[in-house]
Structure 1
Amino acid sequence: MALSYNLRVFRQPLQGKHVEVTEKLIEHRKLQGVQGKGIITQGYLNTGGVVSHILPFESLSELQTYLENSAKHRDNIMEINSLCSNFTNVISERVKNPSSGINIKEINYMIQFWFTAKFGKRADLVKTLVDSPEVTGAVNSLFGSFVSGDIVVTIGMKNLNELVGVEELAERNSNLIKSIEPLITDSKRHISRVIHD
């Protein structure tokens, strides 16, 4: 059973519009009354990377109310989107909370591991990640196809010194890697800078 839900809106700013998109997104969050709720992220390793904002919800009905209220600010949303080459809304369900206990306001960076499940293996992948003591971050399952789709493990960090190198990561998570390898078709690692408003 889901612990909560997240709405994440990804935007790819046009060349030279990265700062403007971020500033307008902060203004939009104030307008919508969600300032201070959730976080804003910027692709850290690419200054022209994706800008996103993540909002947590306790229920799908709460999320639906937010989406319905968003329609009142359609012009503002369209203005932000006009500065972007594309945008995507993604809903996910939180199936495991992080074990670190770090306060969200202390998070300055975020590392995410995106796993694409093989067809028919999504439930097995979720169970493996949720049950593994090696997974200390939050586990979210993206809404979409029931039998396949992305599962995301998110780890919040105060600073980049907490990043683990490839060799240490492989050694630390060797059992987990063996258990998920037959369940996935692809995996990616992304680092983002976190902005609090």
Structure 2
Amino acid sequence: MAYIFRTFRKPLVGKQKEVLEGTIELRKLMGWSGQGAVTQGFTNPTGFISHFRRFETLEEISEWLNFTKPDTKVIDKVYELNSICESYANKIFKVIKPMSGVDGNLSDYLRDCQIHDQWIMHCKVGERQKVIDACIDQAENFNGIKPNVSITLSSPLIGGVFVTRLLKNFNELEDEGNDKTAPDFIKKVKDLVTGFDRHQTLLHHD
């Protein structure tokens, strides 16, 4: 079972570029460069900037957090970034089903991707497992890369289910609109959720 540690920041107006560059610098200090990526909104240029990394166990996350506590360079950079942001939050995602459907090495494929495409299902109370099962079943019907399915362990969206793909270009989003995948995907879970969100963000590989 894998886990994704992801940090979100909402930059103050006019500080988007500074936060983006600072996040890449922070990842170098943390030793995260080349592991995961940085995301930046493109339809909403004043939106969130995030970055993420994959861990194999929760113990690895705990060890990493304990390792960075005494690192003043990392802590100072975090405070510096947070001082030019409206909000800041860390989330841990548990990956129930990994991405698949790529010929060759998945890591190499993901390094060429430019778009982070994510659906968020807001589950009704007691229905999360049914939503997870439906999302896993429907994931295999997506064209191209098959999305991962994950849940949050530490987030206000504690009942959320996330379906995530990394895409190479915008054309893959347009192509999806010409088949039945997205509408059928919604139909499978619409009676089990209170609503949906979908976000596409640009990927920056460091």
- TM-score, scaled to structure 2: 0.86
Q: Please report the RMSD computed on the Cα atoms of aligned residues, expressed in angstroms.
A: 2.0
1:184 paired with 2:206, answer no
Identity score, percent:
33
Which residue of the other structure, out of 112, 137, 143, is the alignment partner of 1:131?
Answer: 137
For the 8 Å contact 2:91–2:154, the answer to whether it is kept is: no
- TM-score, scaled to structure 1: 0.90
2:173 alignment counterpart: 163
1:186 CA displacement:
1.0
For the 8 Å contact 2:41–2:47, the answer to whether it is kept is: yes
1:179 CA displacement:
2.2
Report 1:80-91 matches (<5 A). 80-91=81-92
1:8 alignment counterpart: 6
1:165 CA displacement:
6.9
Aligned length: 193
For the 8 Å contact 1:134–1:173, the answer to whether it is kept is: no
1:121 alignment counterpart: 127
Q: Which amino acid aligns with 2:117?
A: I
1:74 CA displacement:
1.7
Change (3 A) 1:95 1:115: same
Which residue of the other structure, out of 80, 96, 112, is the alignment partner of 2:118?
Answer: 112
1:172 CA displacement:
2.8
In structure 2, how many angstroms separate the alpha carbons of the residues matched to 1:52 and 1:144? 16
Change (3 A) 1:39 1:167: closer
Report 1:13-32 matches (<5 A). 13-32=11-30
2:49 alignment counterpart: 51
Change (3 A) 1:37 1:46: same
CA shift digits 1:96-147 (9 cap, x unpaired): 11223252201111111111111011111111111332252111111158xx
1:65 CA displacement:
1.3
1:44 CA displacement:
1.4
Question: Please, which runs of 5 or more residues in structure 2 have no aligned partner?
Answer: none
Change (3 A) 1:19 1:173: closer
Change (3 A) 1:174 1:21: closer
DSSP 3-state at the match of 2:89: strand
Change (3 A) 1:173 1:26: closer
Stretch of structure 1 that moved more, 38-47 or 174-183? 174-183
2:93 alignment counterpart: 92
For the 8 Å contact 1:111–1:156, the answer to whether it is kept is: yes
Change (3 A) 1:49 1:173: closer
